[in-house]
Amino acid sequence: MSSQPHNVLVVTYWSLPDALIQTYTLPYVRMIAKRLPEGSKVFLLTLDKTSSAAGLIENNIYNVSIQYHPFGMKGLFMWLKTLFSLIRLIRKERVSTIHAWCTPAGMIAYLLAKLTGKRLIIDSYEPHAEAMVENGTWKPGSRAFKLLFGFEKRQTHRAAVLIAATEGMKTYAREKYGQPKAPIFVKPACVDLELFSERNLKQPELLRELGLENKLICVYAGKFGGIYLDREVFDFFKVAQDYWGERFHVLLLTNHNRKELEQLANEAGFGSNAMTSVFVPHHRVPDYMGLGDFAISPVKPVPTKRYCTPIKNGEYWALGLPVITPANISDDSGIIEENGIGYVWKELSMDEYKASVRFIDTLLQDSRKTNYARIRPVAEKYRNFERAEAIYQTIYAPVKS
């Protein structure tokens, strides 16, 4: 490792408290920071509701907070101001590498790399522009789509390193953007296997607090709509309720308001009295998630989701939870089927929902601890942070400052 400091600017599109920073970015930023020469600094750009001055997060990691504004004149001014302030930061702090998380953040990272000549790394490299069209957020051929898709192509050919979530992204990149010159590493969303472990399972005090003793619990941590299914999930809950009766209960770890959830439940005919919804800080998620007997991961099965990596699946597996998910989601649908640790919906239909309930029922004939012993090794194999550490060790080998 070079003895000269190697400063890094990490560019994200999320706010500092967001779970995508706390669980999907910061663990890897820490890995990067540990591998840099003594005296190096890592600057983490976040987009927040209110801006604050750059401040130390921990050790040699500093937060650069920008007040976020959506598309419009304020948004344009925000990005122009951000671009120039980051160029000043890169020059003042002698930043050697610009490391972006996902392609939307990669747009500003690409411009910075182009203007400063610094090394560019695109992490969590997966399709975003086409995904926004597929899930109905953007229209095909819209200005937003053309802008991001064009930048995805430019990032692909500018980057010195690309870090994808799945092997399939290598083929997608070649077909959609043209063959990248940079090496493509593969790093799925890894999980803190110490944070999510056997000690989180079925904590009696928390079960009593939530009134969930002796319930068969389906847990879901996440949102509805957008890249996730909504009505279909509650149709499944209705099928499960009909099958298991009063024993069945849904535990939702979400920030959706109760009225939204009750409306979805009512439309599906699912009794909302069998649904508990809470929003908890991430350090408490393992305890709440560990109350479940099985989990659901309702990523919308659009073509580009073959190349994503749902964080929650690794968390579920680390807690020994059987998982229900649609087909063709990342590599995970195949892993679930191959290992018999959940059910993959071949289509979104009542027949498939019924089949999944019956299959899960057979798995639940075994004890919670038995399922943990069977499923936990899948997380250890596919979601272990050791996989990521090896990649960052290679990428942050000595480089010229």
Of residues 186, 349, 383, 219, the one with CA closest to residue 285: 219
Residue pLDDT, tens place only, 284-302: 999 999 999 999 999 999 9
C-alpha dihedral sign at 54, 59, 61, 67: negative
Number of Cβ atoms within 10 Å of the Cβ of 389: 16
Residue 392 region, left (φ>0) first, then alpha (ψ -120 to 50), else beta?
Answer: alpha
For range 271-296, the mean pLDDT = 95
For residue range 141-154, list pLDDT tens digits in order: 999 999 999 999 99
Answer yes or no: is pLDDT of 54 > 70. no
Q: Which residues pair with 253 in a beta bridge?
A: 221, 278
Which residue type is seen at 166? T
Provide the pLDDT for residue 400. 47
CB atoms within 10 A of CB 154: 16
Domain-by-domain residue ranges, the chain? 7-188+384-395, 198-382
SS3 label, residue 129: helix
Where does 231-366 have alpha helices with state H? 231-244, 258-268, 285-289, 311-318, 332-339, 350-363
Residue type, 242: D
Residues 315-356 pLDDT 10s: 999 999 999 999 999 999 999 999 999 999 999 999 999 999
AA identity, residue 398 = P
**Class of the 198-382 domain?**
alpha beta
Q: Are 391 and 185 in contact (CB under 8 A)?
A: yes
The reply to whether 198-382 shares the fold of 7-188+384-395 is yes
Residue of higher predicted confidence among 66 and 357: 357
| CATH among 1.10.760.10, 3.40.50.300, 3.40.50.2000, 3.40.50.1010 for 7-188+384-395 | 3.40.50.2000
Q: Model-level pTM? A: 0.89
